[in-house]
Amino acid sequence: MQPCEERKIQLPGFTIGLKIWNPQNTQRVLCLHGKLDNAASFDLLAPFLPHLQLVAVDFPGTGLSSPYPKGVLPHWKNDAFLMLHLIKELNWNRFDIIAHSLGSLSASIIAIACPDQVNKLVYLDILGPRIDFIEKGTTYLLTDIDNFINHTKFPRTIFQDLESAIQKRMKSGNISYQASQALALRGTTKSKEGYVWTFDRRLRSVASTLPYEDELRTLFNEIVAPVCLIRAKQGVPYPEKIFQERAQSLKNLMIHELPGGHHIHMDDPKPVGKTIAEFLKLKDNF
């Protein structure tokens, strides 16, 4: 695995963990992971983007970052606003964003808030929420409330060894061994009883916070930066009409379709890295 620099940074109310690859490079990229993942989401992609300074963030409650305060519901908009503090703290004038899954919503907010700073956006297998999250919003609301209120009611699953935790993550997320291993190494801790995942279980209460179709398209309409969607053929499914209407909401969208599932950037990172490099107009170095 490519060496990286570990850093913790203090932001208002939070300690945020960062993984930084190629810190000497001047082309900076903010890397935002998806739901219940962590900054290791970009471990396997980093070797294929050697010309970029990649700064991968642990969102609050994941990886090495502190959680939201007790009684507070984590929210992707709050994550986005917190990233604005991070960008200021890092003193970045210009940068790109690579975002997977839920991280793409925070990326969209950042691009709208910083139109003169964000050069380009890359969405990894996501163009807004799955349509069922919107159609079944009330059902998901009740589930999210239950998850939030009762998140400490039941003990965490204890795995006998790290391998068991890796295998469970593979099955629950339909991801490769290498992807699950990277996430588990950063996202678990060992106790006397065994290994447990450390993510804040309140992060499961996300579906009811997702934007409805009109808000999503309004957000897309406000993005001026060019966007590259790397769509996995076996990734997030959308009704074709919905997908095309969302795509048309973005002023400057390029779509690349590659074989693979939702964690395509981890399961098969080389073609993803090549596509990103070409989009960002880097020299092909593969």
What's the pLDDT tens digit per position in 2-22? 789 999 999 999 999 999 999
In this prediction, the residues of the chain whose per-residue pLDDT falls under 50 are 283-286
The answer to whether residues 246 and 127 touch, using CB atoms and an 8 Å cutoff, is yes
Q: Which CATH number fits domain 5-131+210-279: 3.40.47.10, 3.40.50.1820, 4.10.91.20, 2.60.40.10?
A: 3.40.50.1820
Beta carbons within 8 Å of 199's beta carbon, 6+ residues apart: 36, 38, 61, 62, 187
Which pLDDT tens digit goes with each residue over 189-205? 998 899 999 999 999 99
User: How many Å apart are CA 147 and CA 144, to the nearest integer?
Assistant: 5
101 is catalytic: yes
- 223, 40, 53, 228: which is closest to 123 by C-alpha? 228
pTM, 2 dp: 0.96
Its sign, for the CA torsion 251, 254, 257, 263, is negative
Q: What pLDDT sits at residue 283?
A: 45
**Domain residue extents for the chain:** 5-131+210-279
Q: What pLDDT sits at residue 2?
A: 72
- 271, 227, 224: which is closest to 115 by C-alpha? 224
Angle subtended by helix axes 103-113 and 76-90, to nearest 10: 50
Burial class of 50 by CB neighbour count within 10 A (0 to 12, 13 to 18, 19+)? middle
Mapping DSSP onto H, E and C, the string for the chain reads CCCCEEEEEEECCEEEEEEEECCCCCCEEEEECCCCCCHHHHCCCHHHCCCCEEEEECCCCCCCCCCCCCCCCCCHHHHHHHHHHHHHHHCCCCEEEEEECCHHHHHHHHHHHCCCCEEEEEEECCCCCCHHHHHCHHHHHHHHHHHHHCCCCCCCCCECCHHHHHHHHHHHHCCCHHHHHHHHHHHEEECCCCEEECCCHHHHCCHHHCCCHHHHHHHHHHCCCCEEEEEECCCCCCCHHHHHHHHHHCCCEEEEEECCCCCHHHHCHHHHHHHHHHHCCCCCCC
> Tokens 């925070």, residue?
106
The answer to whether residues 4 and 46 touch, using CB atoms and an 8 Å cutoff, is yes
| Token pair in block for residue 155 | 């003990």
Adjacent-strand bridge partners of 34: none
Selecting among 101, 176, 180, 249, the annotated active-site residue is: 101
User: How many Å apart are CA 25 and CA 41, to the nearest integer?
Assistant: 21
Q: What pLDDT sits at residue 282?
A: 54
